Amino acid sequence: MPELPEVETVVRDLKKVVLRKTFLNVWTDFPGIVKKPDFNKFKKDIIGKKIKRVWRRGKNIIFDLSGEKYLLIHQKLTGHLLIGRWQWQAGKWVPLIRGPLEDNVNQFIHLMFWLSSGIMLGLSDLRKFAKVELLDKKTLEKELEKIGPEPLDKEFTFDKFLEVLKKKRGKIKQILMNQEIIAGIGNIYSDEILWRAKIHPFREVSTLNQTELKRIFITIKALLPKAVELGGESISDFRRPSGEKGYFDLERKVYQREKQECQRCREQIKRLKLAGRSTYYCPNCQRL
């Protein structure tokens, strides 16, 4: 699932292209991808709306539209937004220009928007788990109200980090991935953060001392901006709106590196299951 760096990358890329553009039409072959309202009303309501702002909250992409409407897109497991121009051929969307949009993972377009200036915005989603909603301000605020603080914000200080962890119980990896505690961190970056901070993912958060918590915090503040700079991680389905891969793979140290050597101590990377999710760690550098 795209995490904070991937979603932030999408938002920054979209801002360069779609601001002040107007929705002219929309198509889908899977109406269920639009959760609110039903697709027919969604289509009627979004046509003619101008994009005033694009921003991120947690893993959600939000478009502020004219008429006090808000388009919310959560890409979920395999979804990613694409910008380009396509034509319908033999039952699928074919990009008009050769290049990254031809990547196989970009071929599962189930929602397509036509924007002014000839731009098209597609949502490719192999598993069809993505969520698309058109909301009023009150409903949007209600959907976002339980999301924790943004780790990229200047207001997310070490004191704030300690505050959100106060009285929390559970394993540190689960805490980092809890969207109501901290926004945007998922399976990939929790593993990468904890490897760099030399903390075992199964450590109970209540057992971590101030020095260990400081290492985790510093790593969060350094790693996530670096991942955004590299355009996110494309080890699976994620692609940027251009159809191109992100390059965080250049920095990936532990996630999905089971049985490979730890790049710090040469011990073999191990994999465990935590709440049904694969967790990767170095048993030497990250001792329980």
Would residue 277 show up in a list of annotated catalytic residues for this protein? yes
Q: How far apart are CA 77 and CA 98, in angstroms?
A: 26
Rounded to 5°, angle at Cα 188 from 154 and 228: 45
CB 74 within 8 A of CB 131: yes
Would residue 59 show up in a list of annotated catalytic residues for this protein? yes
Q: How far apart are CA 53 and CA 68, in angstroms?
A: 12
Would residue 252 show up in a list of annotated catalytic residues for this protein? no
Q: How far apart are CA 57 and CA 97, in angstroms?
A: 32
Q: How many CA atoms lie within 13 A of 16 on its CB side?
A: 10
Does a cis peptide bond (omega within 30 degrees of 0) precede residue 100? Answer: no
Provide the CA 156 distance to its chain's centre, in angstroms.
Answer: 19
**Residue tagged active-site, from 2, 95, 151, 201:** 2
CB 177 within 8 A of CB 276: no
**Residue tagged active-site, from 57, 131, 277, 283:** 277
Q: How far apart are CA 103 and CA 279, in angstroms?
A: 28
CB 127 within 8 A of CB 74: no
**Residue tagged active-site, from 49, 56, 59, 196:** 59
Would residue 145 show up in a list of annotated catalytic residues for this protein? no
- Residues with catalytic function: 2-3, 59, 277
